[in-house]
Structure 1
Amino acid sequence: MNSAATGILCIVLGGVVAQWVAWRYRLPAIVLLFALGLAVGPGLGLLHPSASLGPYLQPIVSLAVAIIVFEGGLALDFRELRAAGEGVLRLTALALPINWFLGTMAAHFVGQLGWGPALLFGAITVVTGPTVVLPLLRHTRLQQRTASFLRWEAILNDPVGAILATLVLQILLVTGTAHATQFGDIAGRLLLSIAASAALGILPALLVRALFLRDLMPEILKTPVLLALALSVASVANLIMDGAGLMSATAFGMALANLGVPGLADLRRFKESLVVLVVSALFITLTADLQRDVLGRLSWPILGLTATILFVVRPAAIVVSTLRSNLTTAERLLAAWIAPRGIVAAAVAGVAGLRLQQAGYASASLVTPSVFAVIAATMVLHGFSLRPLARRLKLTLSDEPGIAIVGASPWSTDLADALQQAGARVLLVDTFPGALAGARARGIPVLQAEILSQHGGERFEESPVEYLIAATPDSIYNGLICARMGPELGRERVFQCSPGADGVDRYRGLNRDARGKLLGEADWTVGGIEARHGGGWRFEVALEPDADLPVKTTNDHKALDFALVRGGKSIVIRSGEDVSAFKPLPGDHVIRLTPPQAPG
């Protein structure tokens, strides 16, 4: 009981704490998780997953990875291929076989593996794991097209690499005693597994769409049904061929994302939270399961092989596969370096390497330590270098804080202009072109779209922001926008104009979950702000010289502090629900609504 409690503490609580530390200090979470696994496993000996779970470890890992690739499949929208299609095709269809060939050569000539283990090593390391790439993309604000290249490559190559490794293993196990018919059977099983995986992914998605559109599935069952189907299609596909489950889970997620199935927004939010927990648990579990004798087999040839994979094999494969493509030089350089391996490579290496060793292949015992050396090196080096390299190549979005204001009017346009002068990225959103004309004339970026529509939501994502103010005259609509965008931006970062004192009453007013935080005080209604602005009040930007400057009160004579931009890195918006958070510091740019100067 005590050992089980220790294991749960290390895996669940340790994983969540590592994720929080990574978020708080802007560090790659995967590196902390990997280090924690090494510490509690081979380091301190507190966790022995294979001894505790025995034969159940591998099926649990397989189903957990299926959940991860299913969530990744939900993010693969075919509309992204309009801009990134050629690059995705080259990184998946062309770069993969080149990686396999060069990786095999490197394993044999540099790592001193026999041809059989070298072929297996090359097949395992062709993948770039979504368990590593997707958290890194969340950590780094890459441009949408560049992020699409890495995301699609990781999610599509992962199941293909797993099946390729399984196929290589099957061929190596029958080599020497097999007849031509056996190789034909293996090829037939490969084709069957691909066809079955696609069917197992697409057909349930069509069924789900029909049930959801006809209102034949209660809301409370939608998320459990989709998760159960994802696990089921992965399990059934794995019965046909090991590794095929990843392909069918990915196909299921992709089909749901592109069939227009309603009600996926709630699933996506739940899945993102679930995947964070699953990834944390998997990384700690598999790293902790490493035996000290495996680490002891690390040698100079294996370290040389790792360096060759990082600095020769991957760059050469990307350079060759992207020749005369529409990828820019910066995008090719980033893709040539960023290729972290993850959970799938670790899981396949542990099982396949052991089976090859039992079959009597010389040097098969070096497959697992060689793969884990590549995993560790790529996670650490790529995890810490992705953001600075992307910045150097100018492939990241601006670091200036971004804010969207929904509802264009003379006063909100004036507020947007002041925020822009203070160093913030601003996006003014409205459905009517006439309302945006003044903002366009003043050089303020605008978006003419209904932000709650699919088209408007997609265009809104192209100009990512961290904060939002809903400033339309309709308080209910403002609350709807904040409720929709809150889970994505953070509920503490979505604000709306006050619906009036009665509207924010905890008992009779809008529930906090159905609206944003108040912009200013409860009496700062749209009508009140419009009246002041119509009476000559204007937004101005003041550089804060005094850290002890008191917060302005609301009356007819004193300026109203709306927001401040801090060092070009964050925005603090005044809210009566959290007055203590609004404390101007020296160097802050404070945006104030100031009354007109008295004549004379």
Structure 2
Amino acid sequence: MVSTGVVGLGVGVISGYLLVQLIKRFWIPDYLQAVSFLAVTLLAFGVSNVMFHESGLLTVTVLGIYLVNQKQVAIHHVREFKEHLGVFLISCLFIVLGSNFNLESIQVVGVNGVWFLLAMIFVVRPISVFAATIKTGLSMKEKVFLSFLAPRGIVAAAVASVFSLELANINVDQNLRSQIVPLTFVLIVGTVTVYGLFSAPLARLLKLADENPQGILFAGAGAWVRDIAEALMNLDQQVLLVDSSYANWRETRMRGIPVECASVLSEHILEETDLSGIGRLVAATPSNEVNALAVQEYTSVFESKNVFQMAPWDINAGKRTSVSEHSLGRLVASEDLPYVRIRNGYRQGAEVKTTLITDEYTIEDFYEKYGVDNAAVLFVLDSNGRLHINSAHEPHDVKTGDTVIAIVGLPVPDDHISKPSTSH
């Protein structure tokens, strides 16, 4: 055991250090980094097993821990590769496991196998969770949820056959040994099925998860963004504003709007801020570049369909000066609604209006009152309580019973072309 630990720890740390140095010195091209990580991992696993039997698993575990906790090089693209590879390999593993599983295996364990499975799910797992979370500050709901979230799979399948062989070496009864592998596979299939089907409904029942989070993260907290956020809060919608300007942070906080004084691209927001209930991003800073970077960063957090930004002020300025189209998120409301147009409109008296659309007051009446060129609908809360961000390329069809949040009193589109200040 000691030898396994020494070999696994040593080879894992050395492999991790070498990888970091290779990346840090730019000796591996970016497009080969993910493959290089995989190759070094397999090599470390093999070398470790040659040095001492069964130490390879510990080696690659230590290697992963080392890479995740080092701060010298970025490995985001490697993590993405790992996630894709993990989905593929785990899917293949369960196909292989299923192909080796037959009805005779179930008959070997009989009814006792079912009782064993139920005991593991409803007795052993809850006891272990409650014992391990004493004085952790977790709520009862969180402990209950953790008690029903532990499917058995890769490790159990990997060690079952090994244990069976080891028991044979110490002359354990054949009938007992013959039940280990079938019991393990019953446990794998049972836990994966039960937890896979019921974990998500249980989380929603305990109010620990939102099936479709409607909250909005705003990058930027300018005057008009604060008004929009307040209007959304008045409709019981969750918002969070992020701005690196202390003045904007102070004004936002004084109005009772949730806000963080930080860069939207900072590690604090991405990894430490509680984004539960937040499911969409609206990049609304004065900087086209910051908005584009925020879109790129949060696409992996919220998915591309839920990442929006205000139109760039120079969207038609040409390839030399405008942000490339593939770097943009979904545009809010219109291509003719950049931050600078709203800013200039606010200086001239533009304001946010929340309007209920009825049979007596239709969306056509709304535009007739405020002007098609002078009003922009940004958000629509439908009669079912679902919040929609009005997209420039897929505008929401406003119906009777919907509530629209719009900015009215805007200057006509041709009057706003001027480069904005990048302070926010």
* TM-score, normalized by the shorter chain, greater than 0.5: yes
What is the total number of aligned residue pairs between the two structures?
A: 405
1:486 Cα offset (Å)? 1.9
Distance 1:273 1:215 in 2: 24
- Residue 407 of structure 2 is matched in structure 1 by 593
Give the match for residue 199 of structure 2: 386
1:63-100 residue CA offsets vs partner (Å, 9 max, x unmatched): xxxxxxxxxxxxxxxxxxxxxxxxxxxxxxxxxxxxxx
1:541 alignment counterpart: 354
For the Cα contact (< 8 Å) 2:313–2:339, is it kept in 1?
A: no
Output aligned runs, 1:248-287, within 5 Å. 248-287=59-98
Aligned to 2:55: 244
Kindly tell me: are residues 450 and 353 of structure 1, through their superposed partners in 2, closer, same or farther at Cα, counting changes over 3 Å? same
Q: Give the residue type in structure 1 aligned to 2:408.
A: T
Distance in 2 of aligned mates of 1:565 and 1:230:
50
SS state at 1:466 partner: strand
Which residue matches 1:191?
A: 2
Distance 1:241 1:307 in 2: 37
How far residue 254 of structure 1 moved from its aligned partner, in angstroms, is: 1.6
**Pick aligned residue for 1:429 from 219, 230, 242:** 242
Q: 2:291 aligns with which of 478, 501, 509?
A: 478
Secondary structure of the structure 2 residue equivalent to 1:523: coil
Distance (Å, rounded) in 2 between the aligned partners of 1:569 and 1:227: 47
Match of 1:403 in 2: 216
Is it true that 1:574 corresponds to 2:387 in the alignment?
no
The whole-number CA distance in structure 1 between the counterparts of 2:132 and 2:390 is 52
CA contact (8 A) 1:400 1:570 kept: no
Conserved 8 A contact 1:421-1:541: no
The 3-state SS of whatever aligns with 1:467 is: strand
2:104 aligned residue: 293
| Alignment correspondent of 1:348 | 159
Find the partner of 2:125 among 295, 314, 336: 314
Cα distance change on mapping 1:544 and 1:207 into 2, 3 Å: farther
Q: Determine which of 265, 288, 305 is the counterpart of 1:492.
A: 305
- Give the match's secondary structure for 2:73: coil
- SS at structure 1 position matched to 2:312: coil
- Measured in 2, the distance between the counterparts of 1:587 and 1:242 equals 69
1:209 aligned partner: 20
CA RMSD of aligned residues (A): 3.3
Aligned partners of 1:262, 1:565: CA distance in 2, in Å? 44
Displacement after TM superposition at 1:426 (Å): 0.8
1:564 corresponds in structure 2 to: 380
Residue type at the aligned position of 1:372: F
Alpha-carbon distance, 1:213 to partner: 2.7
Shift in alpha-carbon separation, 1:290–1:227, aligned structure 2, 3 A = same
Change (3 A) 1:257 1:362: same
Structure 1 CA distance for aligned equivalents of residues 320 and 245 of structure 2? 35
CA distance in 2, matches of 1:557, 1:503: 19
| Inter-partner Cα distance in structure 2 for 1:326 and 1:401 | 28
Q: Which amino acid aligns with 2:156?
A: A
TM-score, L = length of structure 2: 0.83
CA distance in 1 between counterparts of 2:277 and 2:140 reads 24
- Taking the aligned partners of 2:68 and 2:49, their CA distance within structure 1 comes to 23
Q: State the 1:584 CA deviation.
A: 3.1
Match of 2:227 in 1: 414
Q: Which has the higher contact order (CA 8 A, sep 6+)?
A: 1
Distance 1:566 1:332, change over 3 A: same
Does the residue aligned with 2:354 lie in a helix, a strand or coil?
A: strand
Relative distance call for 1:578 and 1:395 in structure 2 (3 A) is closer
Instruction: Return 5+ residue gaps in structure 2 as ranges.
Output: 411-424
Partner of 1:363: helix, strand, or coil?
helix
Comparing 222-231 with 353-362, greater Cα deviation is found at 353-362
Structure 2 CA distance, aligned partners of 1:218 and 1:298? 53
Q: SS where residue 205 of structure 1 aligns?
A: helix
User: 2:395 aligned with 1:584, yes or no?
Assistant: no
Q: Which amino acid aligns with 1:278?
A: L
User: Does the aligned pair in 2 maintain the 1:501–1:523 contact within 8 Å?
Assistant: no
Deviates more, 1:356-365 or 1:414-423: 356-365
Could you tell me how far 1:227 is from its partner in structure 2?
1.8
Once residues 298 and 585 of structure 1 are traced to their aligned partners in structure 2, the CA distance between those partners, rounded to angstroms, is 60
CA separation in 1, counterparts of 2:399 and 2:192? 38
Query: Residue 423 of structure 1 contacts residue 565 of structure 1 at CA under 8 Å; is this kept in 2?
Result: no
Match of 1:235 in 2: 46
Deviations 1:530-576 (A, max 9, x none): 12223332223334447x95796996655311122457875432232
Q: Deviations over 1:7-28 (max 9, x none)?
A: xxxxxxxxxxxxxxxxxxxxxx
Does the 8 A contact of 1:519 with 1:574 survive in 2? yes
Cα distance, 1:347 vs structure 2: 3.2
Cα separation, 2, equivalents of 1:592 and 1:487: 29
What are the Cα deviations for residues 149-208 of structure 1, in whole angstroms up to 9, with x where unaligned? xxxxxxxxxxxxxxxxxxxxxxxxxxxxxxxxxxxxxxxxx2111222122222222222
Contact 1:498–1:504 (CA under 8 A) maintained in structure 2: no
Change (3 A) 1:374 1:569: farther
Change (3 A) 1:195 1:354: closer
In the alignment, the residues of structure 1 paired with residue 255 and residue 162 of structure 2 have an alpha-carbon distance, to the nearest angstrom, of 62
Q: Unpaired segments of 5 or more residues in structure 1?
A: 1-189
Return the alpha-carbon distance in structure 2 between the equivalents of residues 317 and 575 of structure 1: 48
Q: Deviations over 1:329-368 (max 9, x none)?
A: 3333333343321122123324543675696633211112
Shift of 1:288: 2.5
Deviation at 1:404, TM superposition (A): 1.1
Task: Give the Cα–Cα distance (whole angstroms) in 1 for the partners of residues 372 and 401 of structure 2.
Answer: 28
Answer yes or no: is the 8 Å Cα contact 1:451–1:460 preserved in 2: no
**Does the 8 Å CA contact 2:216/2:281 hold for their aligned counterparts?**
yes
**Higher relative helix content:** 1
Distance 2:229 2:325 in 1: 25
Distance 2:51 2:103 in 1: 34
TM-score by length of 1: 0.61
Is the alpha carbon distance of 1:491 and 1:390 closer, same or farther for their aligned partners in structure 2, counting shifts above 3 Å? Answer: closer
